Chain A
Amino acid sequence: MKPAAFEYCRPDSLAEALALLSEYGDEAAVLAGGLSLGPLLNMRMARPEVVIDINRLADLARIERDGEVLRLGALVRQADVLASAECQDLVPLLVAALGHVGHYQTRDRGTLAGSAAHADPSAEVPLCLKTLAGAVELTSERQVRRVPADDFFQGTLTTARADDEMITALLWPTDRGRQGFAFEEVSERRGDFAIVAAAAWAERHDYDEGYRYGLGLGGVEEWSLVSRGGGRRAPEDLAEFADEVIAGVTEDIEPMRDQRASAAYRRHLADHLGRKVLLRALETALGEVQS
């Protein structure tokens, strides 16, 4: 369990980091928190020629609001978000999810962008980013582009990042889920990857009687199942509405099966947790309309 030999580079500027990425392409690996990359290196499942340690790029550690978007730089740690009142206020769904990610010790090191880059199908951060319709900021020497999460995550451990690109930030919409949100997951132990995770948010428009919602299910299939929608009038019967949404999301799914959980159990959890979180989000946001 010792890594194969690699060059270690620790650039002092983003430009330097991007130049290295441009030079080495798919022979390079970016090191932020190292929680995914470290084990992959030690088990020789990743054998990059160069490891680019971005931990000196202090600009990437910023949490900043940019209009309707909260921009979380590539070096923002999970613990930073949990400790941030601004994040709690603007992206409460993410904050709720991060409590399920690892443990105190690992959250001090693990970054959100690292989780997005690794793209595990049961990871919490990608699930939330997709459910909230966030985006990923990819930077290369060629360009800076913003890729919607729906397009960024392409499958298990597969993303839209080009070899010369680096994730420089995750972009979180701040106008979603501030009225109603819920996150639940089932895992064998605290802090494990979820067997199934469910995230939901709901909003009532402040200008008319319309509403929006989002529901995401992680760990069920190769990539998160997401449903987002809305309407001009809140549904009469929230439970019935939730059932319809769930039925739409889980129709025709073929859940994964592994050592931990069968397809039948995942299917059941998708249904059970999905209904639970969506209903809670809807009731919080729209319950008032009902009464």
Chain B
Amino acid sequence: MGDRADSWVGRAVPRLEDAALLTGNARFIDDLSPLPGIRHVALLRSPHPHARILGIDAEAARAMPGVVGVVTGAELREHLNPLASAVRAPMAYYPIAIDKVRYAGEPVALVAAEDRYLAEDAAEAIEVDYQPLDAVVDPLAALATEAPVLHEEAGGNLVHHRQFAYGDPEAAFAEAAEVVRLAWRYPRQSATPMETYGAIAHFEAAPERYTVWSNFQGPFILQPLMARALGIGGNQLRLIAAAHSGGSFGIKQGLYPYLVLLAAASRLLGCPLKWVEDRLEHLSASSSAADRADEIEAAFDGEGHLTGLRFDNLVNVGAYVRAPEPASVYRMHAAANGCYRVRHIAIQNRLVTTNKLPIGLNRGYGGPQFYFGLERAMDLAARRLAIDPAEIRRRNFLAADGFPYEGPAGAIYDSGDYGKGLEMLLEIADYPTLRARRDAARAEGRLFGIGLAAGVEPSGSNMAYVTLAQTPEEREKAGGRSGGVACASVAMDPSGTVTVHLDSTPAGQGHATVAAQIVADALGLRPEQIQVDTAMDTGSGAWSLASGNYSNRFAAIVVGAIAESAGRIAGKLKAVAAELLEVAADDVELAEGRARIAGVPEQGIALGRVAAATHWHPAGLPDGMAPGLYDTALLNPAVLDAPDGADRVASAVTFGFLCDLVALEVERATGRLRIERYASVHDVGRVLNPIVVEGQVRGGFAHGFGAAMFEELAYDQDGNFLSGSFADYLCPTSADLPPLEFANYETASPQNPFGSKGMGDGSSMLTPVVLANAVADALDLDEVELPLSLDRVWRLANPETDGR
């Protein structure tokens, strides 16, 4: 794939998805009506953060016009097994409350009616007798012995606790010239896609099976888990993902308990059921990133070399541990050295249950929380040691000639040149000028700050990294786990046109475009000639546990599967064409829709004729060749091995790099931040399509900016939810975003044929901390927390205020 001038891959091919999206022709889950007789569901949800359910009287609701039925947790329990997770604490998680509610918004009863209006009317008529209990929402408070306990059978709210040491952190800290320490709260956020959850579930008695249409995005490791909850074999649960999804950013992973709930209710009520989540439900009860109460210690020698790290992570998992949690705190674990050479690392991970909604995948997944600690600590150390924040990072970067690099906790960094990225960033942002402007502003008494941050972006997850939640002995007993399999199918039909099937359930990223570029290169076609079917169907397409849309796995792994499958189709076309052209297969090239003799382009035949031969005349094929042109590749990156006995794991396939710089002024009188300049430089490996890459960077930036400035899923101390609408949960609009200066450079990854790396999370990981670093710099502070709301920044800028 070296010669990029000749290839579609790498070019700014306009997105093939956009015509349908922009003309209203894309079909989303709410547009689907795949069978007759669908009834509509409203969920009655708990108004209490914590309460015992003493009784539910649904008689009046059942008698209302248009109502098909009401199903409660007690009834569903007969038909469901609890949903499993990697945490062994004894606590049952069902998709609906059984005898107790543990967060405001938890489903208590399901109503099905002829339309959603009638279903909501009936839900209002259900009377639930609650015995309210004390609630706890703060992770530290939940650890206290007198705290209300969510799951009595677990014996307390601490449901997971592991400690790790890599290298010799004790010695590193004992010998350190400088140790910086930070403790902070990281707030809860959500990616808030435009489209909320939605699903249609259909139970058939004969043969006994469930079909569920939805905008679930994987990982499909959750499919067998759902089947187990329903008490059926995997082949009795067919999941179909709509071809278009109105955004996910990870959060649609958390849809799966609702799929189980709807499937079981469809069986009980004897009709197909449709449920489309509304915004209040989405904000209060879908899923979210974790809020955390974390601490970090970083040891340095006198020259600013980072010699040791200690992480103390306390994750507020919410009311239940929903698979794949506790993955969010293990996502960055194997790469806990970030982009630095430090070899001595201690990590303590604790998970605590509270009366908040359960956490799950959300853009950046554990990355924003991780980098908030590490990159705040780097800036703080630079201040303490009087080293420029750019220089202290430069001194600690992995060496450009040291790749692949095995980190102390097992991550295998594929490629990189971090120093080059930082130099590009400083040049683009004109760092010396910004520093001079800061000096001048400070001389006038103004509050001007510069923030820096750098980090790696692990992509293409090892499905086994979450088993770090278990001890090596427990893992041994459970049997081996490893890998991150991707699947892709390429078919050429008798007319010579091509269809590609993906297992990557895209949510708007542009997978279809890039897949078409790859296949067009392999088969000598144009991207727009390729049909890419992104509608996942576990009943008919190839898939595996790792299938789905998360951890930036498309550009890291899936592209390799597409190339492998398309390559085999190309090979077969060449072999058949070689017979027809009477040359050796090696002399055949596929270009401009033809199979032709290399060097003699006028001698060739249309691909359609070659394809037709494989379908119409199998007897005429070379000996031993199978008929047709259909190929499926299942590919596993070899680097994704099982965790070892020392808890080290190659957690991801590719490691992109990015660094951000922001210069801002704090308006002392109002707490407003005036962003003067925001620059971001990325190494995403070889770029597959610059349009897609830039879109992801800008989107990730918007998410990170919102998280830094405005967003918080807020609860009051009693557990009442305060952010149930977009008037309360403040996402940035285009009018609120500062201009982003973006640049990229490429260090090719050896992990796939294109040299590409996963990307899309990076900006959401670093934007929150770089803004915090700039505010800390402007105000000369050690401690800064998010969101950087007006009131908070005003208080920080005016410490003399009495704070009433």
Chain A positions within 8 Å of B, measured between CB atoms, are 1-5, 39, 43-44, 103, 186, 188-193, 195, 259-265, 267-269, 272
The interface residues of chain A lying within 8 Å CB-to-CB of B798 are: 268
Could you give 13 example pairs across A and B, Cβ below 8 Å? A1-B278, A2-B116, A4-B121, A5-B117, A5-B121, A186-B670, A186-B672, A259-B714, A259-B728, A262-B803, A264-B801, A268-B801, A269-B670
Say yes or no for B791: interface residue by CB 8 A criterion. yes
Contact (A39, B725) CB under 8 Å given A5-B121, A103-B733, A103-B735: yes
The interface residues of chain B lying within 8 Å CB-to-CB of A269 are: 670
CB atoms of B735 and A261 under 8 A apart: no
The interface residues of chain B lying within 8 Å CB-to-CB of A264 are: 801-804
Bound complex: CA of A2 vs CA of B123, how far in Å? Answer: 12
Contact (A189, B722) CB under 8 Å given A2-B116, A2-B117, A265-B790: no
- For the A-B complex, the count of residue pairs with Cβ-Cβ distances under 8 Å equals 69
For window 253-303 of B, CB contacts with A under 8 Å fall at: 278-281
Please tell me which one of the listed residues A2, A3, A272 contacts residue B670 in the complex, with CB atoms under 8 A apart: A272
CB atoms of A261 and B801 under 8 A apart: no
Please tell me which one of the listed residues B280, B669, B733, B795 contacts residue A190 in the complex, with CB atoms under 8 A apart: B733
Q: How far is the CB of B53 from chain A (nearest CB, A)?
A: 23
Please tell me which one of the listed residues A188, A265, A268 contacts residue B730 in the complex, with CB atoms under 8 A apart: A188
The interface residues of chain B lying within 8 Å CB-to-CB of A265 are: 671, 790-791, 794-795
CB atoms of B280 and A189 under 8 A apart: no
Say yes or no for B531: interface residue by CB 8 A criterion. no
Bound complex: CA of A28 vs CA of B276, how far in Å? Answer: 30
User: Who on chain B is nearest to A1 by CB?
Assistant: B278
Say yes or no for B710: interface residue by CB 8 A criterion. yes
CB atoms of B736 and A190 under 8 A apart: yes
Bound complex: CA of A267 vs CA of B795, how far in Å? Answer: 13
CB atoms of A261 and B733 under 8 A apart: no
Known: A188-B710, A188-B789, A263-B804. 18 other contacts (CB 8 A): A1-B120, A1-B279, A2-B116, A2-B120, A3-B117, A5-B117, A5-B121, A43-B280, A103-B733, A189-B736, A259-B722, A262-B804, A264-B802, A264-B803, A265-B795, A268-B798, A268-B801, A272-B670
The interface residues of chain A lying within 8 Å CB-to-CB of B753 are: none
Q: How far is the CB of B127 from chain A (nearest CB, A)?
A: 17
The interface residues of chain A lying within 8 Å CB-to-CB of B732 are: 189
Q: How far is the CB of B666 from chain A (nearest CB, A)?
A: 14
Bound complex: CA of A3 vs CA of B278, how far in Å? Answer: 13
How many positions in chain B have a CB within 8 Å of any CB in the partner chain? 35
CB atoms of A192 and B730 under 8 A apart: yes
Bound complex: CA of A1 vs CA of B276, how far in Å? Answer: 11
Q: How far is the CB of B804 from chain A (nearest CB, A)?
A: 4
Please tell me which one of the listed residues A2, A261, A263 contacts residue B790 in the complex, with CB atoms under 8 A apart: A261
Chain A binding site: helix, strand, loop or mixed by DSSP? loop
CB atoms of A186 and B790 under 8 A apart: yes
For window 781-804 of B, CB contacts with A under 8 Å fall at: 789-791, 794-795, 798, 801-804
CB atoms of A262 and B791 under 8 A apart: yes
The interface residues of chain B lying within 8 Å CB-to-CB of A260 are: 789, 791
The interface residues of chain B lying within 8 Å CB-to-CB of A259 are: 714, 722, 728
Contact (A189, B728) CB under 8 Å given A259-B722, A263-B804, A265-B794: no
Q: How far is the CB of B718 from chain A (nearest CB, A)?
A: 14
Closest 4 CB pairs of A and B: A1-B278, A190-B735, A264-B804, A265-B791
Q: How far is the CB of B39 from chain A (nearest CB, A)?
A: 15
Bound complex: CA of A190 vs CA of B736, how far in Å? Answer: 6
Contact (A1, B280) CB under 8 Å given A186-B670, A188-B790, A268-B794: yes
User: Who on chain A is nearest to B731 by CB?
Assistant: A189
The interface residues of chain B lying within 8 Å CB-to-CB of A267 are: 804
Bound complex: CA of A4 vs CA of B121, how far in Å? Answer: 7
CB atoms of B791 and A189 under 8 A apart: no
Q: How far is the CB of A177 from chain B (nearest CB, A)?
A: 24
Bound complex: CA of A262 vs CA of B279, how far in Å? Answer: 27
CB atoms of B670 and A191 under 8 A apart: no
Q: How far is the CB of A38 from chain B (nearest CB, A)?
A: 12
The interface residues of chain A lying within 8 Å CB-to-CB of B722 are: 259
The interface residues of chain A lying within 8 Å CB-to-CB of B790 are: 186, 188, 195, 261, 265
Q: How far is the CB of B667 from chain A (nearest CB, A)?
A: 10
Q: How far is the CB of B507 from chain A (nearest CB, A)?
A: 23
The interface residues of chain A lying within 8 Å CB-to-CB of B669 are: 272
Bound complex: CA of A3 vs CA of B121, how far in Å? Answer: 9
CB atoms of A191 and B791 under 8 A apart: no
Residue in A2, A4, A263, A269 with the greatest tally of chain B CB atoms within 10 Å: A2
Bound complex: CA of A261 vs CA of B804, how far in Å? Answer: 11
CB atoms of B121 and A189 under 8 A apart: no
User: Who on chain B is nearest to A267 by CB?
Assistant: B804
User: Who on chain A is nearest to B115 by CB?
Assistant: A2
The interface residues of chain B lying within 8 Å CB-to-CB of A2 are: 116-117, 120
User: Who on chain A is nearest to B40 by CB?
Assistant: A2
Bound complex: CA of A3 vs CA of B118, how far in Å? Answer: 10
Mark interface residues in B84-128 (1 if CB within 8 Å of A CB, else 0).
Answer: 000000000000000000000000000000001100110010000
The interface residues of chain A lying within 8 Å CB-to-CB of B801 are: 264, 268
Q: How far is the CB of B725 from chain A (nearest CB, A)?
A: 7
Bound complex: CA of A159 vs CA of B583, how far in Å? Answer: 90
The interface residues of chain A lying within 8 Å CB-to-CB of B120 are: 1-2, 44
Bound complex: CA of A265 vs CA of B732, how far in Å? Answer: 22
For window 714-746 of B, CB contacts with A under 8 Å fall at: 714, 722, 725, 727-728, 730, 732-733, 735-736
Bound complex: CA of A264 vs CA of B802, how far in Å? Answer: 8
User: Who on chain B is nearest to A265 by CB?
Assistant: B791
The interface residues of chain B lying within 8 Å CB-to-CB of A3 are: 117
Bound complex: CA of A286 vs CA of B788, how far in Å? Answer: 39
Bound complex: CA of A2 vs CA of B118, how far in Å? Answer: 9
The interface residues of chain A lying within 8 Å CB-to-CB of B733 are: 103, 189-191
Bound complex: CA of A136 vs CA of B577, how far in Å? Answer: 84
The interface residues of chain B lying within 8 Å CB-to-CB of A262 are: 791, 803-804
The interface residues of chain B lying within 8 Å CB-to-CB of A263 are: 804
For window 640-676 of B, CB contacts with A under 8 Å fall at: 669-672
User: Who on chain A is nearest to B732 by CB?
Assistant: A189
Q: How far is the CB of B128 from chain A (nearest CB, A)?
A: 17
Bound complex: CA of A156 vs CA of B703, how far in Å? Answer: 34
Bound complex: CA of A43 vs CA of B280, how far in Å? Answer: 9
User: Who on chain A is nearest to B669 by CB?
Assistant: A272
Bound complex: CA of A269 vs CA of B798, how far in Å? Answer: 13
Bound complex: CA of A44 vs CA of B280, how far in Å? Answer: 12
For window 502-516 of B, CB contacts with A under 8 Å fall at: none
User: Who on chain A is nearest to B728 by CB?
Assistant: A259
Q: How far is the CB of B768 from chain A (nearest CB, A)?
A: 16
User: Who on chain B is nearest to A4 by CB?
Assistant: B121
Q: How far is the CB of A251 from chain B (nearest CB, A)?
A: 16
Q: How far is the CB of A264 from chain B (nearest CB, A)?
A: 4
The interface residues of chain A lying within 8 Å CB-to-CB of B710 are: 188-189
The interface residues of chain B lying within 8 Å CB-to-CB of A1 are: 120, 278-281
User: Who on chain B is nearest to A193 by CB?
Assistant: B727
Bound complex: CA of A269 vs CA of B709, how far in Å? Answer: 19
Q: How far is the CB of A40 from chain B (nearest CB, A)?
A: 11
Bound complex: CA of A262 vs CA of B792, how far in Å? Answer: 9
Please tell me which one of the listed residues B709, B735, B794 contacts residue A191 in the complex, with CB atoms under 8 A apart: B735
For window 305-330 of B, CB contacts with A under 8 Å fall at: none
